[in-house]
Structures are given as structure tokens and as C-alpha cells.
Copies of this chain bind each other. A is one copy, B any other.
Amino acid sequence: MQPHQTRLRVRYAETDQMGVVYYANYLVWMEVARVEYCKALGFRYKDMELEDGVLLAVAEAQCRYLYPARFDEEVIVDTRVTSANPRMVSFGYEMRLAEGARKLATAATRHIFCNREMKAVRLPAKYWTAFGIR
């Protein structure tokens, strides 16, 4: 599937005393990128939760940090679905600076579709096309 591009600007709150972005915040950016990606796929993650009661519980996250991001830099997150079936979906991410294109990090997350009680469920068929499930 086509990658989707999300742009965000590093917040002061996201830095730590090392003078660079604190490592957990890359996972926040990945979530922001996932939400935008869903919109690009044709649905709102919010609606999937509210209307269909389907949540994306994170089963695994992994991030490789290549170069530190700093306050006020613009970051581009390229996101794509790397695999999907009615039980789970995996995303791949590549983060880089908008200026100069320096690669910051590569990352991946794996998610299980579940209901509000956090029990695994099958993804309703109406979402299959969006995630590339046949």
C-alpha cells in the first residue's frame, strides 16, 4: 500500500535535558501518523472506536533511533500498512527531518483489533479494503 506522509513540528515539551526529543515521544508521533493515515485510507479512527467499538490495541512497538530530533524542527513521518488480516494490522514508519531529509528513525507497530473490553474481535468487513485485506 501507498505510504502516507504526516508532518509535525517538535514541541518544547517533547525535548529532555539531553537537548533532544525524549525517546518515548516518537511513539506519540507514530500514533499521530496512524490517525492521519486512517483518514487517508478513507475513515476516521475516532468513528471506528465510537461507532463500531473497534479499537486498535498495540501488541508490539519497536523503534530504531538513528539521529536525534530537536526542538522546533519539522519532522515527516511516512507511514504504511505492512501487513493486515481481520485479526491484526502492522504499520511501518520512517521519520526524517523536513529540512535536509536526514533520517531520524524507523519504526514498526503491530495491533490487534479489539472491543471496548479489550477482547480480540474480527475487523468488520467494511474496513477490509481500507487496510488492504482481501
Interface flags for A51-83 (1: CB within 8 Å of B; 0: not) read 000010111111111001011100000000000
Task: Kindly report how many copies of this chain are found in the complex they form together.
Answer: 4
Interface of A is mostly: mixed
Chain B proximity of A66: nearest CB distance (Å):
8
Chain B proximity of A60: nearest CB distance (Å):
5
Are B68's CB and A118's CB within 8 A? yes
Chain B proximity of A50: nearest CB distance (Å):
9
Q: How far is the CA of A62 from the CA of B63 in the complex (A)?
A: 6
A13 surroundings in chain B (CB, below 8 A): 16, 22, 24, 28, 31
Are A11's CB and B27's CB within 8 A? no
